[in-house]
A and B are shown apart, each in its own frame.
Chain A
Amino acid sequence: MSGNGRDGQDGKDRRDRQGVRDMRDGRIVIVGASLAGLRAAEALRDEGFSGSLTLVGEEPHPPYDRPPLSKQVLLGRVRAQDCGLPARRETDAQWMLGVRATGLDPAGKRVLLGNGDQLPYDRLLIATGTRARPWPDSGEAALDGVFTLRTSDDAGRLAERLESGPRRVLVIGAGFTGSEIASACRERGLEVTVAERGRAPLIGALGATAGAFAATLQRAHGVDLRCEVTVTALRGSGGRLTGAEFSDGSRIDADVAVVALGAVRNTEWLADSGLAAGPRGVACDAGCRAFDMYGIVTDDIFVAGDVARFPHPLFEYQMLALEHWGNAVAQAEVAAHNMVSPATLRRPHLAVPAFWSSQFGLNIKSVGVPTFSDQVVIAQGSPEERRLVAVYGYRGRVTAAVSVNMAKWLDYYRHLIETAAPFPPGPGAADGVAGSEPVPSDVPDPHVLSHGPTVALTGHLPDRRLTLLRPDS
Chain B
Amino acid sequence: MSADTLFRRISDYANRADPYPLYEELREKKVARQEDGSYLVGTYHEIATLLHDPRISSDRRNRTEPDDTLQGADQLPPAFISVDDPEHERLRSLVMRPFGPPHTPQRIDALHGDITRIAEELAGALRNEDSIDLVDDFAFPLPVTVICRLFGVPHDDVPQIHTWADAIVDSLDPAAGEDPAPRRNAALEARSAMGMYLGELAGKRRGHPTDDMLSALVNDESPQERLTQPELMSSMVLLLIAGHETTVNLITNGMLTLLRNPDALERLRNEPALMPGAVEELLRYEPPVQFLPQRTPLADIEVAGVTIPKGAPLILVLASGNRDPLRFPDPDRFEPAREDNQHFGFGSGIHSCFGAPLARIETQIALNTLLRHPGNPRLLEDPPPYRRSPVLRGPRHLPIAYT
Contacts and interface: CB of A to CB of B under 8 A. Distances in A.
A460 B84 contact: no
A172 B216 CA distance: 43
A408 B299 contact: no
Given A385-B86, A408-B349, A460-B45, A430 B327 contact: no
Given A430-B298, A431-B85, A380 B54 contact: yes
A409 B348 CA distance: 11
A415 B303 CA distance: 13
A426 interface: yes
Interface in A334-389: 379-381, 385, 387, 389
Nearest to A380: B54
Contact of B89 (A387, A415, A427): A387
B326 interface: yes
B85 A427 contact: no
Interface string A422-436: 000011111110000
Interface string B33-73: 00000000000010011001111010100000000000000
Interface band, chain B: 20 to 34
Contacts of A431: 54, 84-86
Interface in A31-56: none
Interface residues of A, number: 20
Interface of A is mostly: mixed
A258 to B, nearest CB: 26
A430 B299 contact: no
Looking at chain B's contact residues, the main secondary structure is loop
A411 interface: yes
B394 to A, nearest CB: 28
Contacts of B45: 460
A412 interface: yes
Contact of B49 (A415, A426, A427): A415
A426 B55 contact: yes
Given A430-B85, A431-B84, A411 B54 contact: no
Contact of A387 (B57, B86, B301, B349): B86
Interface string A96-111: 0000000000000000
Interface string B287-327: 00000000001110100000000100000000000000011
Contact of A428 (B52, B89, B298): B298
Given A385-B86, A460-B327, A428 B349 contact: no
Given A426-B299, A430-B55, A460-B45, A411 B349 contact: yes
Contacts of A380: 54, 85
A430 B57 contact: yes
Interface string A456-467: 000010000000
Contacts of A412: 49, 52-54
A430 B54 contact: yes
A428 B327 contact: no
Given A408-B349, A411-B349, A460-B45, A428 B55 contact: yes
Contacts of B52: 409, 411-412, 415
Contacts of B350: 408-409
Contacts of A389: 54
A429 to B, nearest CB: 4
Contacts of A415: 49, 52
A372 B223 CA distance: 38
Interface in A385-399: 385, 387, 389
A151 B45 CA distance: 40
Contact of B84 (A379, A406, A430): A430
A220 to B, nearest CB: 16
Interface of A: 379-381, 385, 387, 389, 406, 408-409, 411-412, 415, 426-432, 460
Give the 5 A-B CB pairs with smallest separation, nearest first: A428-B299, A430-B84, A429-B54, A428-B55, A412-B52
15 contacts: A379-B54, A380-B54, A380-B85, A408-B350, A409-B52, A409-B350, A412-B54, A415-B49, A426-B299, A427-B299, A428-B297, A428-B310, A429-B54, A430-B84, A431-B54
